[in-house]
Amino acid sequence: MRVIEQFVQSKTGIQESCEDGYVITDCFAAVIDGVTNKNAVQLGLDAPGKIAMELIKKGIGDLSPILSAHDAFKAINELIYDSYCNLGLVEAMKKNPSQRFSASCVIYNSVRRELWFLGDCMALANGTIYQFSKESDRLLSDLRSFLIYIQLSQGITEEQLLERDLCRQQIHSFLVSQTFLQNSSQNCPFAYYVLDGISEEAPRHAVVISVDEKTTEIVLASDGYPTIYPTLEQTEAYLAHILEIDPLCYREFRSTKGLVKGNISFDDRAYVRLAI
């Protein structure tokens, strides 16, 4: 396994605030997307998504390559739980899922030639783009788009919404509420699964994709990209195109959030391209 390209960028342009990251070891490569904090309550710590991302990077560094995806994600989840114990936050995190140290990730295990997914990070392998998006994100992205069109019909301009995204604010309560379906054991189409240290449900929902012997390169990326291509240049070019023609991310690429004036993208992003 050899790294061809690697890149990480904060949406603000300030790298210290970036909640996405990657890690490369002898047997593993991963991209991690820390979940954006949607709760106004602050714990006096770094953003929960950034904490989760850093903990998962450490956890992957300690993994044995012979572990299954389920056992690997279970071990990482336990590391996050241990951090709550150390901070005296276990009960608070059980009650308030929107405050948890939560992240999606995609991991490539070079020994098993497998891709492991939890959450909505992406990979390009076997000639296919793999991404497992949340049904609630699709719903709320459509709702935000609907609300933006209503605002525009009433004379509000795109430029004004780039200054202050009223429609993001309108769906905010739903973004917080959806966390009660995070790692839910309910048979519910809106349940979704991420690493958050609390639920033992998440590792059971890991998606495993075998990488065939004909595949010589793979790409891993966070959902800070609208889609991914075989090279970083192509992937960055398409992101730039979307930000040029649809900076609010409600027409060509519907999202729960768009570009904020002063930022350089709608979300943090990370990209790794590997020869395998």
Confidence at residue 44, expressed as pLDDT on a 0 to 100 scale: 67
Q: Residue 7 has what pLDDT? A: 98
pLDDT value, residue 203? 93
Domains in the chain: boundaries? 2-275
Please say whether the beta carbons of 36 and 19 come within 8 A. Answer: yes
Q: In this predicted model, what pLDDT tens digit does every residue of 243-265 receive, in sequence order?
A: 999 999 999 999 999 999 999 99
Give me the residues of the chain with pLDDT under 70, please: 39-44
- The number of C-alpha atoms within 13 Å of 238 and in the hemisphere containing its C-beta is 13
Q: Which CATH architecture has domain 2-275?
A: 4-Layer Sandwich (3.60)
Q: The pTM is what?
A: 0.95
pLDDT of residue 199: 86
C-alpha atoms less than 13 angstroms from C-alpha of 42 in its C-beta half-sphere? 4
What does the pLDDT look like over 173-203, one tens digit per residue? Answer: 999 999 999 999 888 999 999 999 998 889 9
> Given this model, what pLDDT does residue 21 score?
98
